[in-house]
């Protein structure tokens, strides 16, 4: 009986990972310290970074205190109504919805995964918004339900409002799926119910924001919203993260003027500002 039980457990485990292979089976986060003296080595080279980089990237904090600059808006915004390939598996609420092309691809990948789980009722209700549109929305809805122009994540092209054809997202299976699985594809639920005092925004089960991996995984693991995550990186300065045997090094650099930082010679990396006071470099090892 014991042997049969063991076999059954093993088979169930195999089936589980066959259904959903990307799960945080291992996440190890370590503070490693940081050297502020940048220099060329066999493994690294120096890169000059200007203060303008603070306002660019996928980790920008946009809220009541930190506004969007026009230079922060992604340059690959596309009209989704004209992109049939990018809208497979979900419906557009109207024909004037725009989004970063890169993020639209990421979203389509996520929707395809949800479809395999039997969810086919997703809608996209809003994506990129210009300052004029946001101003009209703010005047019509008021401060309690909308952000003033210049302070909305929708200006970036990285955020979108997602709905269900069946019911409100707070109760819909699509909303439950997003809350549980969006991080796997680099998205976060930006304004969760239990973090309203931190975000300053009421619960929005429909509003998702792209930050990318490994950041979305760390935020999911630690139950952080973006404000908390950026504070965490500032405090730790550098962390090394292992997620499902993939390794990443994430480093925060304060930036008040142009400076040199060390970047790897032979590994991929990206740099994002935080829209406050520094940049975050993510190295994919």
Q: What is the mean pLDDT of residues 79-103?
A: 94
The answer to whether 154 touches 127, Cβ cutoff 8 Å, is yes
Q: Where are the strands (E) in 75-210, listed by range? A: 77-79, 91-92, 98-100, 122-126, 159-164, 187-191, 204-210
14: confidence class by pLDDT, cuts 50, 70, 90: very low
Terminal-residue alpha carbon distance, the chain: 45
The answer to whether 218 touches 224, Cβ cutoff 8 Å, is yes
Residue 221 DSSP code: H
Q: What is the mean pLDDT of residues 60-80?
A: 92
Q: What is the mean pLDDT of residues 92-100?
A: 94
For the domain spanning 20-59+236-285, the CATH number is 3.30.200.180
**Opening angle at CA 74, ends 184 and 256, nearest 5:** 95
Tens of pLDDT, residue by residue over 19-58, are 333 344 456 666 555 555 666 777 899 999 999 999 999 9
Q: Is the pLDDT assigned to residue 9 strictly greater than 70? A: no
Q: What residues does 63 pair with on adjacent strands? A: none
Q: What is the mean pLDDT of residues 82-106?
A: 94
Which one, of 191, 283, 206, lies nearest residue 246 by Cα? 283
Residue 147 DSSP code: P
Domain spanning 63-210: CATH 3.20.20.70: no
Q: Which residue has the tokens 């203060």?
A: 51
Of 109-113, 138-142, 261-265, least confident by mean pLDDT is 138-142
Q: What residues does 191 pair with on adjacent strands? A: 204
- Domain parsing of the chain, residue ranges: 20-59+236-285, 63-210
Separation of CA 75 from chain center? 18
If you average pLDDT over each of 5-9, 140-144, 184-188, which comes out highest? Answer: 184-188
Q: What is the distance between the alpha carbons of residues 197 and 191, in angstroms, rounded to a whole number?
A: 10
What pLDDT is recorded for position 27? 62
What pLDDT is recorded for position 26? 58
What pLDDT is recorded for position 71? 84
Tens of pLDDT, residue by residue over 159-203, are 999 999 999 999 999 999 999 999 999 999 999 999 999 998 999
Neighbours of 113 (CB within 10 A): 17
Instruction: Indicate which residues carry an active-site annotation.
Output: 204
Q: What residues does 49 pair with on adjacent strands? A: 259
18: confidence class by pLDDT, cuts 50, 70, 90: very low
DSSP, collapsed to helix, strand or coil, labels residue 204 as strand
The answer to whether 202 touches 145, Cβ cutoff 8 Å, is yes
Neighbours of 34 (CB within 10 A): 12
């Amino acid at each position: 009986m014991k042997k049969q039980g063991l076999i059954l457990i093993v088979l169930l485990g195999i089936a589980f990972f066959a259904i959903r292979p990307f799960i945080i089976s291992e996440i190890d986060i370590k503070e490693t310290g940081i050297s502020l003296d940048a220099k060329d080595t066999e493994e690294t080279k120096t890169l000059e970074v200007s203060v303008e980089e603070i306002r660019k990237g996928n980790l920008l904090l946009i809220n009541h205190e930190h506004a969007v600059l026009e230079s922060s808006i992604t340059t690959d915004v596309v009209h989704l109504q004209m992109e049939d390939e990018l809208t497979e598996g979900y419906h557009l609420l109207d024909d004037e919805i725009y989004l970063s092309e890169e993020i639209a691809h990421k979203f389509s990948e996520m929707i395809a995964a949800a479809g395999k789980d039997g969810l086919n009722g997703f809608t996209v209700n809003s994506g990129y918004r210009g300052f004029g549109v946001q101003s009209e929305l703010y005047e019509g809805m008021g401060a309690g339900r909308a952000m003033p122009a210049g302070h909305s994540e929708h200006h970036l092209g990285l955020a979108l409002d997602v709905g269900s054809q069946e019911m409100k997202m707070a109760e819909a299976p699509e909303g439950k799926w997003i809350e549980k699985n969006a991080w796997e594809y680099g998205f976060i639920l930006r304004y969760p119910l239990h973090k309203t005092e931190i975000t300053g925004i009421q619960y929005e089960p429909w509003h998702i924001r792209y930050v990318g991996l490994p950041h979305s995984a760390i935020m999911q693991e630690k139950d952080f919203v973006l404000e908390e995550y950026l504070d965490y990186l500032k405090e730790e300065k550098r962390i090394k993260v292992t997620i499902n045997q993939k390794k990443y090094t994430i480093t925060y650099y304060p930036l008040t003027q142009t400076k040199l930082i060390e970047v790897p010679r032979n590994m991929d990396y990206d740099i994002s500002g935080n829209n406050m006071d520094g940049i975050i470099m993510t190295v994919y090892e």
